Structures are given as C-alpha cells and as structure tokens.
C-alpha cells in the first residue's frame, strides 16, 4: 500500500538533517578526500551525527580503530570522526532507500525492518575495510621496497651520503606511494631535530612490516658503528625483498585466476546453451 502522506515527511526529515549539517564538512575537504569517503554528498550529515552521537564500544575498540587509522593516514585527530561519519553516511543511504521503498508499498514492513537492522553490519564492514586498506598498503610497500633499497645502494656506492641518497630517491619517486610518503615523514622528523633512532623506530611502527624493521635496524647499526659497507648490506637486503616481491606477484596471480573461475563457468554455460539450443529444438521437432 502506497503511503504518500508519509513520504513527504520522510524526505523533509532528511532535507532538514542535510541543511543543519551542511557546514560540518567545511575545512575537512582534504581529510575526507584522503580517507576516500564514499557518497561524499552525505559527508556533512555523517559528520554531524558523528559529533552528536559518538559510538564507543570500549577503550580497546577505540584504541584499535585509532591505531589502524594512524597507520593509514597518520596521527591526525580528524580521521576517527571521519571514519565514524562514513558509517553514519552509509547507514543513512540505506535507511533512505529502504524507507522510501517501504513507504511506496514495495515490500511493506519488511523494508522498515531492513532499514533498522542493516546499519549494524554496515558499522562492522566499514571497520573491516580498514584491514583491507592496511593489507593493500603493506603490499604496496613490499612491492616498492626492493627498488628503493637497490637504488639507495647504488647512490651510496656512487659516493653520496646516506641522507642525501634517501632524499634523492624520495624526491625522484614522489609522495604518491606509501613507502616514499613514510620516508618523507622520516626525513621531516630528522630535519626538525628528532633523534635518528626515534625517527626510524617511528618509521618501523608506522609501516608495521618486518622488512622495514630490518631496514631501520640495519641503518641504525651502520650509522652508530660508522661502517662503510652499508651499500653492500642494503644490496643483500634488496635481494631478499625481491624474493618477497615475487611471492606477492605469485599470490596476486593465483587470486586473479581464482576470481576468473566463476565468469569462465558462466561464459561456458552461455556458449553451451547457444550451441546446443538449435540442436535440441531440431530434435524435438
């Protein structure tokens, strides 16, 4: 049964929410873009609800979310709020679509039940998406690490100092890739007077990859001892990282082939129907 008398108040409630919240995203455009906010149009109401109704499932949960966001985007206080706003925005989109369908009589009260309970898995899946982003980031760092180490070893062998070599590699690569972005942060910390040990400990913690930890410890040991074979050690580490990169490429190939199984089966079924249908029709006559 169509309920047009309820559709307009329902739409009016969403419009009022948007008008009340339209200034909440001012000054946060860069943070929203870097986070990769889905349905950017709903970012203002999402931020408004995140500020009015902060959801907390305990200190351990909040700390886990902040650690994952810090690993992805750095130590900024805006990202936990944006992450919660993403949950509210996706929930609002679901509630809006299912609520309209329910009010128009397309499914009756079932859509209202879905509209009430679907935001719960949305909150969970949004947190799980952080884990996928972290895995992709780690994979990107592992892919870039062998090239970085090899280039760094070549520059050291050519006579450049370690700091000048890292600055040149980072400047030539640009900040688009996670590895070089983290190295740029490390260089900024060193330029601001931070101790070398602390800067590389922070690099290791931010990346969360054993290979980066080994690289940081190798650099610190050679700097402290004043060893001149840093280029040789980095070359050996680069060769080990190349093996890791080959394993990543092999796994990506296996994942890609497994994803192609279902489309290939569907194509086979479609081709079989196209080929066999005329013969079956002829035999039936």
- Report yes or no on 285 lying in a domain: no
Residue 161 lies in a domain: yes
- If you search the block for the tokens 């992805």, which residue do you land on? 72
Number of H helices, E strands in the chain: 13, 0
Q: Does residue 111 sit in the same domain as residue 168? A: no
Domain that holds residue 61: 4-117
Q: Using the CB atoms, write b or e for 232-253: b if 16+ within 10 Å.
A: ebbbebbeebeebbeeeeeeee
Average pLDDT over residues 39-55: 83
Residue 271 lies in a domain: no
49 and 103 both lie in a single domain: yes
For 19, phi then psi, to 5°, come to -65, -40
9/92 same-domain check:
yes
Residues 53, 152 within the same domain: no
- For residues 202 and 183, give the distance between their C-alpha atoms in angstroms, rounded to a whole number: 10
Instruction: Tell me which residue has tokens 């093996």.
Output: 243
Residues 6+ apart with CB under 8 A from 257: none
Q: Is the dihedral of CA 121, 122, 124, 128 positive or negative?
A: positive
pLDDT higher than threshold 70 for residue 216: yes
pLDDT of residue 107: 53
In this structure, is residue 129 part of a structural domain?
no
Domain count, the chain: 2
3-state SS, residue 184:
helix
Average pLDDT of the segment spanning 80-90: 87
Q: Looking at residues 76-94, what average pLDDT do you find?
A: 84
More confident residue, 175 or 165: 165
Whether residue 253 sits in one domain with residue 144 = yes
Q: Average pLDDT, stretch 215-232?
A: 77
Q: Is residue 26 domain-shared with residue 59, that is, in the same domain?
A: yes
User: Do 153 and 110 sit in the same domain of this protein?
Assistant: no
Residue 266 lies in a domain: no
């Amino acid at each position: 049964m169509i309920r047009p008398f309820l559709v307009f108040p329902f739409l009016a409630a969403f419009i009022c929410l948007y008008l009340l919240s339209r200034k909440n995203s001012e000054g946060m455009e860069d943070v929203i873009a870097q986070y990769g906010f889905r349905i950017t149009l709903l970012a203002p109401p999402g931020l408004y609800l995140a500020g009015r109704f902060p959801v907390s499932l305990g200190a351990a949960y909040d700390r886990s979310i902040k650690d994952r966001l810090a690993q992805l985007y750095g130590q900024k206080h805006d990202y936990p709020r944006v992450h919660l706003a993403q949950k509210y925005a996706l929930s609002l989109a679901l509630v809006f679509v299912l609520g309209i369908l329910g009010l128009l009589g397309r499914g009756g009260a079932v859509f209202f039940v879905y509209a009430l309970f679907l935001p719960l898995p949305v909150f969970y899946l949004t947190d799980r998406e952080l884990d996928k982003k972290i895995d992709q980031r780690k994979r990107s760092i592992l892919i870039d690490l062998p090239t970085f180490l090899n280039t760094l070893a070549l520059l050291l062998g050519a006579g450049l100092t370690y700091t000048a070599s890292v600055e040149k590699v980072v400047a030539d690569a640009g900040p688009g890739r996670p590895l070089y972005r983290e190295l740029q942060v490390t260089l900024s910390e060193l330029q601001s007077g931070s101790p070398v040990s602390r800067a590389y400990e922070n690099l290791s913690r931010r990346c969360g990859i054993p290979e980066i930890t080994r690289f940081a410890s190798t650099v610190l040991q050679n700097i402290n001892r004043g060893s001149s074979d840093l280029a040789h050690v980095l070359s050996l580490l680069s060769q080990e990282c190349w093996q890791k990169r080959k394993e990543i490429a092999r796994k990506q190939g296996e994942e890609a082939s497994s994803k192609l199984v279902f489309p290939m089966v569907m194509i086979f079924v479609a081709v079989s129907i196209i080929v066999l249908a005329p013969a079956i029709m002829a035999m039936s006559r």
